[in-house]
Chain A
Amino acid sequence: GEDVEQSLFLSVREGDSSVINCTYTDSSSTYLYWYKQEPGAGLQLLTYIFSNMDMKQDQRLTVLLNKKDKHLSLRIADTQTGDSAIYFCAENPPVYNQGGKLIFGQGTELSVKP
């Protein structure tokens, strides 16, 4: 199937680390992505990881990829109230025409409490 799965909610305290998990479906996906969506807004590309990498770090963001288990995670260090949003993981299975189509999970709503 095409289901990219994420837990729906995560609540953390300001200053703690947040870890958002995702299970994807196609082991041949070339890139895996994390997008952030604030209320009423479009999607902002946060980071991505190439499938031949295990880890990618970008300032407060760390992406871990376990290809064997098809598991992707996003860790946000020192979480701030401004990080409160919905986070989507997405894959682009190459089986789709020219590989452009993204398959999104249903999103994880991150709530950061002061």
Chain B
Amino acid sequence: GQSLEQPSEVTAVEGAIVQINCTYQTSGFYGLSWYQQHDGGAPTFLSYNGLDGLEETGRFSSFLSRSDSYGYLLLQELQMKDSASYFCVASGSGNTGKLIFGQGTTLQVKP
């Protein structure tokens, strides 16, 4: 089957660093993306890893290890506005636009 596992909730304080892990099992795996969704809002793209290694975009970094079927999203210098759900997303069935979403991790940032 196709599945992604990520923690359901994470809590951290402003200014801290948090890592959200994701393990996946998908057929035709092509790459791993991360999307952010605020309550009542639309999912928005954060990052994509097609190759093993670390991708950095400002305060956010994402990592992929294909051999371990594992990735993570690292958020640094947390801000209150980072409170949201974060979805680990696998590109399944090859490079065809089919995204398979994990259940999402709700991040709560506290003052």
Q: Are chains A and B native binding partners rather than an unrelated pairing?
A: no
Footprint of A on B, CB under 8 Å?
A: none
Footprint of B on A, CB under 8 Å?
A: none
